C-alpha cells in the first residue's frame, strides 16, 4: 500500500484525505501540521505506527480526551470491497459498511483513502521524564492527583518498565517513563505539579513547542527498548534492541483507576519481570494511561462498541524477548497476566466484565465476540452480504465469522 501516500487538505471543509500507505510519523503529521496548522486524531505514543491498522481498529492518542478515538473523527472511507467494487462510504452513503469499517478491522475490504476531520494545531507543551524505582509510589500519587484535575486538552501516559540490567545475570532494572502533554503552549498552572516535584533521571522537552518536536522526543518502534534507562542514576540506556527481538502487546480495558489498583498493577509487573533474565526477556511493562471518563462524549456509532455512556481506555501490557524458544513462555504469561489484571480491575470497580477488548492491542487468538460484544451479530450479517466468497479470509487479523465461505 506504500503508493497510497498522499495527504490532501481541503480548506473549504477542513477535512483531510489520508492515504492508508502512510505512517502517522514520519508521514501524515509532516505533510499536514506545519503547512496548514491543522491536525488529526492519530497515533502519538510512538513514531512508526501506520494509519491503516490504527484507523481500522479504533485509535487512542494524545488527543483522545478532546476528540475521542481516531474512528470517531472519520468522515468518509474509500474502500475496495471484497467483490472488487470501489466505493466511497460515509454516514450518509453506504450506511452499514461505513459503520463496519470503523473498528471492524480488515474484514470488509481494502481501504484506499480515509477522510478525517481536522482541528486547529498551535504550539504544544510536552515533557518526557524517566523516574527511578525509588520514586514509583510518588509517581503513582502524581498520576492520581492528575486524574482528579480532568483537563481534556492534556494527556499523561506512564510506563512502569523492567529490563535486564547490564552485567548482572539476575538483576532487572526498573524505570518509570512518563509523558506529559498539553495541547497549548503552556499547561494550566499546577496541572503537572506533582510530576515535576519528583527527581528525574533524565528528561526531554519539546523546546519550541511544535508537534514535530514532540514526536521526535518519543522513542520509535525500534528504539523503545532504549527507554530502559539505567536505574543507577545514569542516563545510559540499559541495552540496545537486538535485531531478532520478538514481542507482543496486550491490554485490559478500564473505565477508571484507583490508587490501590495502580499500586497492585505496578507490583504485579515487577513480579512478572523476575523471569526476564531466565526466559530471554528484554522488556516488560505495564502502561498506566488514565484517559478521561468523558472521552466518548461525542462518539458516533461504530463497529467497536463504545459511546457516551461509558469510557474505556487500554492499560497496555508489553513484553519483548528474543528467541523463539521463549515464545510459549511469554505468550502464556501475557495471557495469564492480562486475565489476572482484568479480574482484579473488575473486583476494584475499575472495569466491567462486559468491557469490549480493544482490537489493536488484543493478543493473538482473542475471540472476536469479546471485541465486538453486542455488535457481533450485525457485523456477521454485514460480512455475509459483502464478502460471500470469503476473500478477506486471505488476510491476517481478527476474523468476523463467515458461514461457509464460497472460496
Ligand X SMILES: Cc1cc2nc3c(=O)[nH]c(=O)nc-3n(C[C@H](O)[C@H](O)[C@H](O)COP(=O)(O)OP(=O)(O)OC[C@H]3O[C@@H](n4cnc5c(N)ncnc54)[C@H](O)[C@@H]3O)c2cc1C
Residues making contact with ligand X (CB under 6 A): 1, 20, 43, 45-46, 49-50, 52-54, 56-61, 106, 110-111, 221, 360-361, 395-397
Q: % helix / strand / coil in the chain, to the nearest 5?
A: 30, 25, 45
Number of alpha carbons in the 13 Å side-chain half-sphere of residue 223: 12
Residues ≥6 apart with Cβ < 8 Å to 85: none
Residue nearest to ligand X (CB): 53
Rounded-to-integer distance, Cα 63 and Cα 298, Å: 13
End-to-end CA gap in the chain: 24
Nearer to ligand X, 54 or 257 (CB): 54
Question: Looking at beta carbons only, is 43 or 128 nearer to ligand X?
Answer: 43
DSSP three-state, residue 267: helix
By beta-carbon proximity to ligand X, the closer residue of 49 and 165 is 49
Is residue 178 within 8 A of residue 158, CB to CB? The reply is yes
Counting beta carbons within 10 angstroms of the beta carbon of residue 268, is it exposed (0 to 12), middle (13 to 18) or buried (19 or more)? Answer: middle
Q: How far is the CB of 167 from ligand X (least distance, A)?
A: 28
Query: CB of 401: closest distance to ligand X in angstroms?
Result: 17
Residue 317 CB burial class (10 angstroms; 0-12, 13-18, ≥19): buried
> Judged by CB, which is closer to ligand X: 318, or 342?
318
Q: Of 194, 338, 173, 171, nearest to 265 (Cα)?
A: 338
The candidate with the shortest Cα–Cα distance to 318, out of 262, 246, 236, 219, is 246
Residue 26, C-alpha cell as written in the block: 514520519
| Cβ–Cβ under 8 Å, residues 257 and 143 | yes
Q: Nearer to ligand X by C-beta: 59 or 132?
A: 59
Q: What is the dihedral of CA 69, 70, 71, 75, to 10 degrees?
A: 130
Query: Which of 113/340 has CB closer to ligand X?
Result: 113
Q: Which residue number, 11 or 396, has a Cβ lying nearer to ligand X?
A: 396
Rounded to a whole number of angstroms, the minimum distance from the CB of residue 41 to ligand X is 10
Q: Least distance in Å: CB of 50 to ligand X?
A: 2
Quote the least distance from Cβ 59 to ligand X, whole Å.
Answer: 5
Q: How far is the CB of 98 from ligand X (least distance, A)?
A: 14
Q: Which is nearer to ligand X, 20 or 280 (CB)?
A: 20
Is 316 in contact with 349 (CB distance < 8 Å)?
no
**To the nearest whole angstrom, how small is the minimum distance from the Cβ of residue 189 to ligand X?**
28
In the complex, what is the shortest distance from the CB of residue 58 to ligand X, in angstroms, rounded to a whole number? 6
Amino acid at each position: 500500500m506504500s503508493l497510497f501516500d498522499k495527504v490532501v487538505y481541503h480548506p473549504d471543509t477542513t477535512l483531510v484525505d489520508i492515504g492508508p500507505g502512510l505512517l502517522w510519523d514520519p508521514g501524515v503529521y509532516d505533510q499536514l501540521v506545519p503547512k496548514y496548522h491543522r491536525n488529526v486524531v492519530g497515533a502519538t505514543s510512538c513514531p512508526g505506527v501506520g494509519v491503516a491498522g490504527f484507523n481500522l481498529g479504533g485509535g487512542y492518542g494524545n488527543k483522545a480526551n478532546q476528540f475521542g478515538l481516531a474512528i470517531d473523527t472519520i468522515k468518509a472511507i474509500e474502500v475496495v470491497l471484497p467483490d472488487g467494487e470501489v466505493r466511497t462510504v460515509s454516514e450518509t452513503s453506504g450506511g452499514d459498511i461505513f459503520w463496519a469499517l470503523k473498528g471492524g478491522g480488515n474484514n470488509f475490504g481494502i481501504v484506499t483513502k480515509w477522510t478525517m476531520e481536522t482541528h486547529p494545531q498551535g504550539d504544544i507543551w510536552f515533557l518526557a521524564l524517566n523516574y527511578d524505582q525509588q520514586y514509583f509510589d510518588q509517581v503513582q500519587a502524581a498520576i492520581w492527583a492528575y486524574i482528579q484535575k480532568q483537563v481534556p486538552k492534556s494527556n499523561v501516559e506512564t510506563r512502569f518498565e523492567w529490563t535486564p540490567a547490564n552485567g548482572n545475570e539476575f538483576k532487572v532494572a526498573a524505570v518509570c517513563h512518563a509523558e506529559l502533554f498539553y495541547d497549548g503552549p503552556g499547561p494550566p498552572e499546577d496541572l503537572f505539579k506533582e510530576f515535576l516535584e519528583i527527581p528525574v533521571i533524565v528528561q526531554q522537552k519539546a523546546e519550541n513547542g511544535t508537534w514535530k518536536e514532540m514526536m521526535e522526543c518519543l522513542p520509535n518502534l525500534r528504539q523503545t527498548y532504549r527507554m530502559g534507562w539505567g536505574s543507577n542514576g545514569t542516563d545510559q540506556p540499559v541495552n540496545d534492541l537486538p535485531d531478532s527481538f520478538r514481542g507482543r502487546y496486550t491490554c485490559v480495558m478500564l473505565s477508571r483507576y484507583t490508587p490501590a489498583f495502580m499500586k497492585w498493577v505496578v507490583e504485579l509487573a515487577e513480579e512478572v519481570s523476575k523471569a526476564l533474565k531466565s526466559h530471554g526477556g528484554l522488556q516488560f511493562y505495564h502502561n498506566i494511561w488514565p484517559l478521561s471518563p468523558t472521552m466518548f462524549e461525542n462518539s458516533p456509532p461504530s463497529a467497536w462498541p463504545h459511546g457516551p455512556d461509558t469510557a474505556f481506555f487500554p492499560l497496555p501490557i508489553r513484553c519483548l524477548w528474543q528467541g523463539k524458544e521463549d515464545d510459549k513462555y511469554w505468550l502464556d504469561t501475557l495471557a495469564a497476566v492480562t486475565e489476572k489484571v482484568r479480574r482484579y480491575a473488575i473486583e476494584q470497580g475499575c472495569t466491567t466484565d462486559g468491557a469490549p477488548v480493544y482490537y489493536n492491542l488484543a493478543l493473538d487468538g482473542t475471540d472476536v465476540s469479546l471485541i465486538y460484544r453486542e455488535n457481533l451479530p450485525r457485523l456477521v450479517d454485514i460480512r455475509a452480504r459483502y464478502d460471500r466468497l470469503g476473500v478477506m479470509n486471505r488476510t491476517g487479523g481478527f476474523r468476523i465469522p463467515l458461514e461457509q465461505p464460497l472460496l
